[in-house]
Structure 1
Amino acid sequence: MSTLTPPRRAQTSDGVVKGRALARWSVWMPVAFVVVYFLVSFVSLYVAFPLLGLQEGDLFLFAHSAAGWVVAVVGWLLLAVAPVTGLVLGVRARRLGAGTTAVAGIVFNAAVTLLLAYLVFDEIRMAYIPSFTLLFLR
């Protein structure tokens, strides 16, 4: 140890404090997902739907056009920002020594990411293969 490097205990303590802060942010990302979901839905209904000629209750992919795909992909990417950020923050917090809060953030954000992946798959299925259903949903 020299005068330029702090003792190991100070580095570990600072890392754990930073990890706990990242873990708290990670746990709040599913809430951010819900907020972004409602904002994207609101903008979609009142801005994008009239431009694409869609009615309330339709999906962007029901337009069967490149514009519908562009708007759908942009919406999916906006929705994916919060849970992916939460996963990154949770993993980083866990590496810095945060405890169960980091694990909870990872689990919650993984669940939201899986839900979003299902929503994307289901939107594509409903627009292009409406007769296909999963075996247990018949």
Structure 2
Amino acid sequence: MSAGHTGGTDLLDPCGSPTHPDCGIRDVLDRVGDTWSVLVIAELSAGTRRFGELQRAVVGVSQRMLTLTVRRLERDGLVTRTVYPTVPATVTYELTQRGRELSSLVRLLADWSASNRAAITRSRAEWDAGNPGSGVR
């Protein structure tokens, strides 16, 4: 917010500002906003998935990164992991209620991204043409 802002507490004030000395927003956004978490949440919004199904659906994710991602999402209460006593063990993942709430926001972001992708690509090309050698990507 601007230095002249005199209104009440605004959630858009930066973390560490006098009105939000420790707002916790960064911590949550770092987790739910990383590439793999967003893609896993988007995939699980369609329903329960086994690990292999998730790995095939989330193109480019390694087994190790997918394991870390679903564990972190489970720790945050966004995903439930269920192990079935079969040989070999069957493990499924599904969104919790909190995860489903988040998935609707992820869907809005994905829809917005799809709608604006071409315009953003054009804006980048125009900016790059006007700022050669900037190194910004």
TM norm. shorter chain > 0.5: no
Greater per-residue strand proportion: 2
Structure with the greater relative contact order (CA < 8 A, sep ≥ 6): 1 or 2?
Answer: 1
Q: TM-score, normalised by structure 2?
A: 0.26
Q: With the length of structure 1 as denominator, give the TM-score of the two structures.
A: 0.26
